[in-house]
Amino acid sequence: MPRAAPDPDARAAPHPPSPPNAGRYLHGAAWSALNAVAGALLPLGIFVVFARWLPAAEIGAVALGVAASEMIKAFGLPGLYEALLQQRDDRQPDNRRRCAETALACLLLGGAALFGLHLLLASLLVRLVPGVEQAWLVIAVTGLRIPLDLAALQPQAALAERLAFRRLALRSVVATAGAGAIGLGLVFAGQALAGLVAYQVGLSALLLLLTAAGGGTLARPRLHRDCLRRMWPEAWRASAIRLVAAVNNYLDQVVVAGLLGGLRLAYYNLAKRIETILISAAASFSAILFQPVFARRPTGDNPAGNAQGLQRGLMVLTATCGLATAVIVVTHPRLIPLVFGPAWAEAAPIAACLAFGGFARALGSAHGALLSVSGRNRQLLWVSLGSAGSGLALVALLAPVGLVPCAAALALRSVASTGAMAWLTRRDLPGMGRAYALAVGLPFGLMLAAASGGSLLADRLLAGMPPGPWTGLLALATAGTAAAGGVLLYFGLGLLLRRRRARPAA
């Protein structure tokens, strides 16, 4: 069998590592953006098909299984990923190899044990949650995601250490497309519920395969006690942060299911998917671009590279996640029923609130990426604990009152959490308030205004046409185009001004 051509991005990094130049950063940003867009649009399009073929209660059952598996997975020491990245200063390749072997051994053992725990929890959930009494097998099978996702972390860390931007991006895109093809094939064969479960599990399986195949990224699992002792402090803190993030993302759905039942969970889950899309896009930038780049910055109280990295990160996240949020917030009464069907109209205002919260959390991912690979996971953990705890309290208190006020309160909680992370990195980026005003506040406000203007213009132009899906799509396209034009104009003019200021110095 012929050997695959080597990935040009996957060359071993020199030691000591150095931060990438502007061209390499743009290269990583481009691949991260591709992964983020594909990671948002592909799952959304696939879910639209499932939402139109499956009853809401069955989607709620699968959502419950995914939520349970994600929270359990966080106990498998996934923070070994961040711990591996922080071995960058070790000049001995043998030490880094032994750490990778130890990490993979721990992740495999943890994944196997936690899958057994998931099976026990599935039996408990079908007894406690209304509307999922017949869904034990569905919830149980989704637990296969736990060992698959944990096993993929070690080879992913190897790719991140090499700044293999292209490989990291393409594996996610190809895995999503492949899993979607399997799931949708089952849908059109008349097995829609099995298709949704196959999509969830197949995505994790393909991600592992595409991450580990070729390139020598997969270590041989061996447990070395000295390596485990060396990695343990950062590994458990980063794992705790991932656990809190999983609680933040999924436990509220379990609470809603317990309080309101599977049908209301389905509405909340749809809105939560909008938030998750934005968070997943930000996570793409964080894993492929921000963390590897920050991991190569020089250490110190206030390295200049961190300021530049944070500024670039905020701009990238505003131009991508901020653009999507502006369009969703402005057009949500038309967008949700048009895309998912009239039966989901009740979820529209919930989706608008959670989209705004998702954008706030996306901005926080830039600060979190820096904290996670610079020995400050303890501080990040405290912020994450406060965010998760307050979020659960808000859901428990406000969900019985109404999902819309609950979602609005969660969005404000996300703003506060990102503000806390920005405060923790204030020394890395002097003039944080000004940076947020120029990189986030002004362009996001411009996008909101442009999207609103585009929506009003579309309503006037289409006023004489009979209502239908095409008119709705045209209205949405007009709002989205106006918002995109606004943000491109803003950042384009800013780039031109910076180039003009730099000319005399040259």
Q: What is the pLDDT of residue 103?
A: 93
Q: What is the pLDDT of residue 20?
A: 55
What H or E segment, with its residue span, contains residue 224? Answer: none
Q: What is the residue whose two structure tokens read 């060359």? A: 11
- CA 290 to chain CA centroid, nearest Å: 13
Give the integer Cα–Cα distance in Å for 488 and 506: 26
From first to last of its 506 residues, the chain has per-residue pLDDT tens of 334 444 444 444 444 445 555 555 665 666 666 766 776 677 778 878 887 788 877 887 888 888 889 889 989 999 998 888 877 655 566 778 899 999 999 999 999 999 999 999 998 888 877 777 788 899 999 999 999 999 999 999 888 877 777 777 788 888 989 999 999 999 888 888 899 999 999 999 999 999 988 767 888 999 999 889 989 988 888 888 888 878 777 777 777 767 766 667 778 878 888 888 888 888 878 877 787 778 766 544 445 568 888 988 899 899 889 999 999 999 998 888 888 878 888 889 999 999 999 999 999 999 998 888 887 888 888 898 888 889 889 988 988 888 899 999 999 999 999 999 999 999 999 899 999 999 999 999 999 999 999 988 888 887 777 666 677 788 888 888 999 898 888 887 877 776 676 665 44
Give the integer Cα–Cα distance in Å for 304 and 297: 9
Tell me the CA distances in angstroms from 222 to 97, 229, 436, one per residue in order. Answer: 10, 14, 46
- Amino acid letter, 480: G
Kindly give the residue spans of alpha helices, DSSP state H, lying in 213-261.
Answer: 225-246, 252-260
What H or E segment, with its residue span, contains residue 61? Answer: helix 56-73
Tokens of 290: 């921000």
Tokens of 353: 């609130």
Instruction: Count other C-beta atoms under 10 Å from residue 191's C-beta.
Output: 14
Sign of the CA dihedral 460, 461, 467, 469?
Answer: negative
Contacts for 460 with CB less than 8 Å, ≥ 6 apart: none
N- to C-terminal Cα separation, the chain: 53
Of 17, 215, 219, 16, the closest CA to residue 104 belongs to 219
The SS3 call for residue 346 is: helix
Give the integer Cα–Cα distance in Å for 156 and 190: 36
The SS3 call for residue 461 is: helix
**Number of H helices and number of E strands within the chain?**
21, 0
Give the integer Cα–Cα distance in Å for 248 and 387: 7
Q: What is the pLDDT of residue 297?
A: 62
Query: SS3 string of 19-48?
Result: CCCHHHHHHHHHHHHHHHHHHHHHHHHHHH
What H or E segment, with its residue span, contains residue 207? Answer: helix 192-212
Task: Note whether 156 and 287 are within 8 A (CB).
Answer: yes
Contacts for 18 with CB less than 8 Å, ≥ 6 apart: 296
Give the integer Cα–Cα distance in Å for 227 and 44: 41
Q: What is the pLDDT of residue 413?
A: 94
Provide Rg for the chain, Cα atoms. 23
Q: What is the pLDDT of residue 298?
A: 54
Give the integer Cα–Cα distance in Å for 76 and 73: 6
Task: Note whether 111 and 146 are within 8 A (CB).
Answer: yes
Q: What is the pLDDT of residue 186?
A: 92
